[in-house]
Copies of this chain bind each other. A is one copy, B any other.
Amino acid sequence: MFIVLEGWACRYKILPNGARQIMAFLMPGDACDLHIKLLAEMDHGIQALTSALVARVSQGDMQALMQRHPNIAAAMYSAQLVDEGIMRAWIVSMGRRSSIERVAHLICELYLRARGIGLTYDDEFALPLSQLVLADALGMTAVHINRVLKELRLEGAMSLGRGSVVICDLAKLIQIAGFDENYLHRRLR
């Protein structure tokens, strides 16, 4: 089992036609594959998006740790539930949101997650993802992502550049995204 300590990673899958779809972003504190051992085969890949520092915990140690500290077990379980909520939110985004809403929604999610782990500075946070990576996460084209980002910048909602995002007007961004932070707030309970 792995835990990201620094840097970013993602879960992804490559389709027969060569297209890539990213299914999740892993930020510091996120764990991958509590469970690989239970399953036959990974159905997707995991990849670092920046240079990253990753901790490895053996299956046995993890088992022992969770038995000795029920609170840790509960926390891991609850983190997994949040991850599921995030996946459901992604499905909603891809299915029923326009491209600008999708981009705004993803930035809202990442901003709140970053804030939750103390990685924001005021209304800014590091987002070391190329537009191509964002496109593969949102099911769109890098070209079109670029146009959408321009529109969001002109609207005064947010501005992405040089590996970091500035949230100019969070309320507006949330309103554009139709963002319901309920599914992430769980993290706080």
Contacts and interface: CB of A to CB of B under 8 A. Distances in A.
Interface of A: 11, 13, 15-17, 19-21, 23-24, 35, 38-41, 43-44, 74, 77-78, 81, 84-85, 87-92, 94-97, 136-139, 178, 180, 182-183, 185-186, 189
B78 A21 contact: no
Given A87-B88, A91-B91, A94-B95, A183 B139 contact: no
Contact of A23 (B16, B74, B88, B186): B88
B185 A19 contact: no
A95 B38 contact: no
Number of copies: 2
A144 B48 CA distance: 38
Given A39-B78, A40-B185, 9 more contacts: A13-B88, A15-B96, A20-B96, A21-B92, A40-B186, A41-B186, A43-B183, A95-B136, A95-B137
Contact of A35 (B39, B44, B81, B183): B81
